[in-house]
Chains A and B, each alone.
Chain A
Amino acid sequence: EVQLLEAGGGLVQPGGSLTISCAASGFTFRANAMAWVRQAPGEGLVWVSTITGTGANAYYTDSVKGRFTISRDNSKNTVYLQMNSLRADDTAVYYCARDRSGTHYGFDYWGQGILVTVSS
């Protein structure tokens, strides 16, 4: 059974940093790209970032380029999102998802989400 479990969310001040993680199980982690998708309170889904299975390539939405860094540790089956220079509009539930866009299956499994609140 595929499971994705996010951790590390919480309250952070504007301008601060936070790293969230997603532990995966139930599939061959290193063979799959992974993504982060966020949802601000009462708003829709927004793709944030994707990293390829080897970690060699990463992609970001424009609003987080230069501030967020996605990475992965295939020995720990874990993907991370390091978030710097956080702003109030980064407040959202962040979902980890398996990204099978390379084979056109979309985001086929999602974690339960973790809340990140940016506020003073």
Chain B
Amino acid sequence: QSVLTQPPSASGTPGQRVTISCSAGSSNFGNNFVYWYQQFPRTAPKLLIYRDDQRPSGVPDRFSGSKSGTSASLAISGLRSEDEADYYCAAWDDSLSGWVFGGGTKLTVL
């Protein structure tokens, strides 16, 4: 069971804005950053957001991240069919002294 909780699925139509949540529950994120990864079927994950809200070079500005208290979110605006993928949040857990991932959210573009 993941320490970080994500909804198993999300969906939207082309052009819409969708958000995917990531909850740390009562344990909080502490002073640690949240990261987001995108994964297409049978391919390696790709870093999408680092330090809560920063985009690596090459990631479209349609993708944005935010964090407040015990919850973080990934927002995708102007949804496109090629955004259909699995999305994972991750953070360092001080109590475990290790990285934890959310269970992943499968995004479907209707």
Contacts and interface: CB of A to CB of B under 8 A. Distances in A.
A112 B44 CA distance: 5
A44 B101 contact: yes
Interface string B19-39: 000000000000001010101
Interface in B44-61: 44-47, 50-51, 56
Contacts of B102: 44
Q: How many residues of B sit at the interface, in one of the four size bands? A: 20 to 34
Main secondary structure of the interface of B (DSSP, over half): strand
B88 A111 contact: no
Interface stretch (B9-17, B68-76, B77-85, B92-100): B92-100
A108 B50 contact: yes
A31 interface: no
A61 interface: yes
A7 interface: no
A81 to B, nearest CB: 15
The number of chain A residues touching the other chain, given as a range, is: 20 to 34
Of the candidates B50, B51, B99, the one having the most CB atoms from chain A within 10 angstroms of its own CB is B99
Interface of B: 2, 33, 35, 37, 39, 43-47, 50-51, 56, 86, 88, 90, 92, 96-104
Interface of A: 35, 37, 44-47, 50, 59-62, 95, 101, 104-108, 110-113
